[in-house]
Amino acid sequence: YSRQTYAMARTGYLPKFLAHIDEKHHTPVWALILPGIVCLFTALTGLTDLVITIACYGSVVMYVTSLISLFILRSKEPNLKRPFRVSYPIIPIISMVMAIFCVVSLVMASSDALPYVAGIYAVAIAYYFIHGNKHIRPYEEEFGVMDDLDQE
């Protein structure tokens, strides 16, 4: 969880203090501590099954979003050079069908988690529009930051 937190803070999606690197240990201290506290708190609530279900919803939504992006990019930029290519369109279609099956299964098996998922997404979207989209680094700048980190 700390790698995602650090990466999202470094690119501007989360508060900048989460991207701070400790000079002595060369670790993203706050990106380790804050998610750890959140995980500890959620574990202490006794609602582990609900937390896991919410995480599953998030994973499936991200997977579907990636697949939709694949379809859009392949239709708009079919000849774009890529580091790797997915067999198209059979594999993405099969993957999308399976992802939709997972979403339907999640809704049928644990609809009690839907209000929590909707609340989390509402807060995340509001945060993005209020703060996140004003501090996001351009795509090209992110590669420059990664190059700088590799040289350290």
Task: Indicate if 38 and 51 belong to the same structural domain.
Answer: no
pLDDT of amino acid 141: 55
Q: Which residues form the domain of 1?
A: 1-46
Q: What is the mean pLDDT of the chain?
A: 85
pLDDT of amino acid 10: 86
Check the CA dihedral 7-10-14-15 and report its sign.
positive
Separation of alpha carbons 69 and 49, rounded Å:
30
Q: Look at residue 78 and tell me whether its pLDDT is greater than 90.
A: no
Task: Indicate if 53 and 104 belong to the same structural domain.
Answer: yes
The count of structural domains within the chain is 2
Mean pLDDT confidence for 16-25: 92
Mean pLDDT confidence for 35-46: 90
Look up residue 37 and give its amino acid.
I
**CB 14, CB 6: distance < 8 Å:** no
Task: Indicate if 80 and 142 belong to the same structural domain.
Answer: yes
Q: Look at residue 60 and tell me whether its pLDDT is greater than 80.
A: yes
Task: Indicate if 37 and 83 belong to the same structural domain.
Answer: no
The confidence band for 145, taking pLDDT boundaries of 50, 70 and 90, is low
Mean pLDDT confidence for 68-92: 87
pLDDT of amino acid 120: 92
Q: Look at residue 142 and tell me whether its pLDDT is greater than 70.
A: no
Q: What is the dihedral of CA 38, 41, 42, 43, to 10 degrees?
A: 120
Mean pLDDT confidence for 48-69: 90
